[in-house]
């Protein structure tokens, strides 16, 4: 993973560990997406570009899988996402 782990999992309370594991998985997937898309933008080889972009797309699915599991376990996160959607809508309309 390119990003430094934002939390020491050994210090996380037992009841919070799964949520933090899922968040760390999301961070790893977002790092991978960013890396593959940046590499695709740099290469001139269309075959390499196509493979990198396909892999990046797969990583987006993985990030979504982690997010879905997180939202099942963290109702506060669900509420905050809904607030964020409303706020963005208000700011951009």
pLDDT of residue 6: 73
Domain annotation covers residue 10: no
- Domain extent at residue 81: 16-92
Establish if 4 belongs to a structural domain. Answer: no
- Range 61-69 contact pairs with CB under 8 angstroms and sequence separation of 24 or more: 62/25, 62/29, 63/26, 63/29, 63/30, 63/33, 66/22, 66/23, 66/25, 66/26, 66/29, 67/22, 67/26, 69/22
- Is 64 domain-assigned? yes
Q: Give the per-residue pLDDT at 1.
A: 53
One digit per residue, the tens of pLDDT, for the chain of length 93 reads 566 667 777 788 888 899 999 999 999 999 999 999 999 999 999 999 999 999 999 999 999 999 999 999 999 999 999 999 999 999 999
In a domain, 8, yes or no: no
Q: Domain tally for the chain? A: 1
């Amino acid at each position: 993973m390119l990003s430094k782990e934002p939390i020491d999992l050994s210090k996380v309370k037992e009841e919070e560990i799964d949520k933090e594991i899922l968040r760390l998985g999301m961070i790893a997937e977002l790092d991978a997406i960013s890396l593959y898309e940046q590499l695709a933008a740099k290469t001139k080889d269309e075959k390499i570009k196509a493979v990198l972009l396909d892999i990046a797309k797969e990583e987006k699915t993985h990030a979504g899988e982690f997010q879905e599991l997180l939202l099942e376990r963290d109702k506060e996160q669900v509420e905050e996402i809904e607030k964020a959607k409303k706020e963005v809508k208000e700011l951009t309309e």
